[in-house]
A and B are shown apart, each in its own frame.
Chain A
Amino acid sequence: MNGSTPTVLLSGLSGVSAPASAGSLASPATLTVFFALFALVTGLGFVASRWRQGNLDELHEWGLGGRRFGTLVTWFLLGGDLYTAYTFMAVPALVFGAGALGFFALPYTVITYPFVLVVMPRLWSVTHKHGYITGADFVRGRFGSGALALAIAVTGILATMPYIGLQLVGIQVVLGAMGIEGHGMLADLPLVVAFVILAAYTWQSGLRAPALIAVVKDAIIYVTVIAAVVVIPIKLGGYGKIFDAVPPQKLLLTAPKGSDFGQYTAYPSLALGSALALFLYPHSMTGVLSSSNRNVIRRNTAMLPAYSLLLALIAALGYMALAAGVDKNPAYVAGFKRYGANFAVPALFLDAFPPWFVGFAFAAIAIGALVPAAIMSIASANLFTRNIYREYFRPTCSGREESTVAKIVSLVVKFGALAFIVFVPQKYAIQLQLLGGVWILQTLPAIVLGLYTRWLHRWGLLAGWAAGMAIGTWMAAELQFKGTVYPLHLGETTIPGYAALWALIVNLAVAAAASLALNATGVEPGQDATAPQDYGEV
């Protein structure tokens, strides 16, 4: 379907040419549909500033949509937030390459919502009562510690960057699959163009843009996925054939061997660590805090699993790519060479769909990456502005200045994300998200336990955080930032587990021990600005 190499379309952009590396330029039908949809959402992004109009010079209007989002909008927004290029590309890529282990994303999304149902309404109530717009705001109020709040804010920004990086990889692979890629100096030009567009409407409309686009994004993703799970298995001869194509050693998790627990501990630890980390990310917190009341969140925990069904089906695309043998197809060899397993889903779509629908499906992936990237950069910008800029540089800054700084930072963060994919190249894009998880999970003791108890001392929490960050980063470095499952050796036994969880255990132990000592010696625990009734029921 992509035989000839019409480079005409892009001939105006020197350096961006199609042929040779990952494949030839996709058919005109593919490109037309793709760019039409892309133009549509870009238009929506700019129009969004008028939707439920508010004064966009105020940070809570620009960055939280004025806290007016009801159940349905929150559902779309959180869906747009949590189901990203991670879901559409990274998870099936891992399934394609590593088999059953890649399915950890399923238990992850199953257990995250019960956790959210219990914890997040409390956070909503207390943040609403006190006008907090970030997790670090809450920590500052709860523990009266600027240092701890700073640590939480910095962690949030740091952890979000590789996650945005994952979205960039998603866009890059899709563009590459259509033959749109730069060479040499301009290798990242197409990506930069996509991001300038994203940055422009984020600047203009704030959180309203991704919230509105999320609706369109979901519609085209549902159509794509339903088409994929119906059409492709028919072409491949049914699900039986698909599972038969999976090598037996990849079909199940590897059982413990001797004193090594193998994937029996790796799998659940990845699921649990990811589930606990999910709502600590600044962007998911933004989704939660922008809802109009706490029941919007509670209700959504029962509705969001609808997306998990999608995730499961999309994960299976990894096996479909195996069964279709796309990696052995000469047409896609170059793509796999350049993008690794991340190319599996784009190759599968190119293989199975007519050109115009390839354009539709690729737009689904690209827009599915742009929406969360926008929300993530807004959330990081909120954090920086509120908890670093206003706190340490300009305590007296006006609301207008605050929202301007946030807009600028949302740009800076996106380029930080670019740096991650340039300097920490990954075989599996999912490692970027898992790396972010290692860091963000270290904020759990202060934020989540902080919702329930003041027993943990602010300096104890800070010490725990520092220990967790150090251990987690060290483990990731030991794995050369190419993996996050760290084999812990305890005497004779080897327990492979998600580094984020190991680090959290250290974090909690240090925080508890230090708090015990600090509380016993009567070190000033800091002022608690919140009262028990601020947290609502439960």
Chain B
Amino acid sequence: MSTESGPHDGRDGHDGDDGDDGADDHKRRNAATDPPARYDAGRRTRGSRGWYVLLLAPFVGMLWVPLYNRVEPRAGSIPFFYWYQFVWIGVSAVLTAVVYFATRNDAER
């Protein structure tokens, strides 16, 4: 791809991020990059930045060892230390996905 038109060059969203009504509209308006649209998008981003706070949770849950360095309660026969961290893989993936979707319109430019 040799275009120099920046990150938004019409290829965005060709694989799978359709299905969200407002998004396309929003993008097309930005593609024109008229100053008011840009300003508008910037403001909206600030509003949705709060979602990123969710991403702190995995850091706390994973790095504070005393939270989970124990055997009981077991899940079946698996000690807490192991299943707790295993569960976090899923939780963290879900949080990441939530943040992705929640901030998508603003960032997809």
Contacts and interface: CB of A to CB of B under 8 A. Distances in A.
A110 B89 contact: yes
B63 A252 contact: no
A293 B92 contact: no
B5 to A, nearest CB: 9
A100 B107 contact: no
Interface stretch (A63-71, A153-161, A336-344): A63-71
B92 A537 contact: no
Contacts of B1: 66-68, 292
A28 interface: no
Contact of B65 (A111, A113, A121, A268): A268
Interface stretch (A14-22, A37-45, A164-172, A295-303): A295-303
Interface string B60-72: 0011111001110
B79 A113 contact: no
Interface residues on B, range: 35 or more
Nearest to B95: A114
A128 interface: yes
A32 interface: no
B71 A251 contact: yes
B25 to A, nearest CB: 17
Contact of A111 (B6, B14, B59, B82): B59
B63 A295 contact: no
A243 to B, nearest CB: 6
Given A252-B71, A538-B52, A268 B62 contact: yes
B77 A114 contact: no
Contact of A114 (B58, B81, B103, B108): B58
Contacts of B97: 302
Interface in A115-160: 115, 117-118, 121, 124-125, 128-129
Contacts of A296: 15
The interface centre, meaning the residue of B16, B45, B93 with most chain A CB atoms within 10 A of its CB, is: B93
Given A111-B63, A295-B17, A302-B96, A106 B85 contact: yes
B2 to A, nearest CB: 9
Interface stretch (A305-313, A359-367, A369-377): A305-313
Interface in A444-501: none
A223 to B, nearest CB: 20
Contact of B107 (A67, A71, A298): A298
B36 interface: no
B82 A305 contact: no
B15 A72 contact: yes
Contacts of A114: 55, 58-59, 92, 95-96, 99
A117 B49 CA distance: 13
Q: Which 9 A-B pairs give the minimum distances between C-beta atoms? A: A240-B77, A107-B62, A114-B55, A305-B93, A302-B97, A268-B63, A302-B96, A537-B107, A308-B89
Given A271-B62, A292-B11, A536-B7, 14 more contacts: A106-B85, A121-B107, A128-B6, A239-B76, A239-B77, A253-B81, A264-B69, A272-B63, A292-B1, A298-B100, A299-B16, A302-B97, A305-B93, A309-B86
Interface of A: 66-68, 70-72, 100, 103, 106-107, 109-111, 113-115, 117-118, 121, 124-125, 128-129, 238-240, 243, 251-253, 255, 263-264, 267-268, 271-272, 292-296, 298-299, 301-303, 305-306, 308-309, 312, 316, 534, 536-538
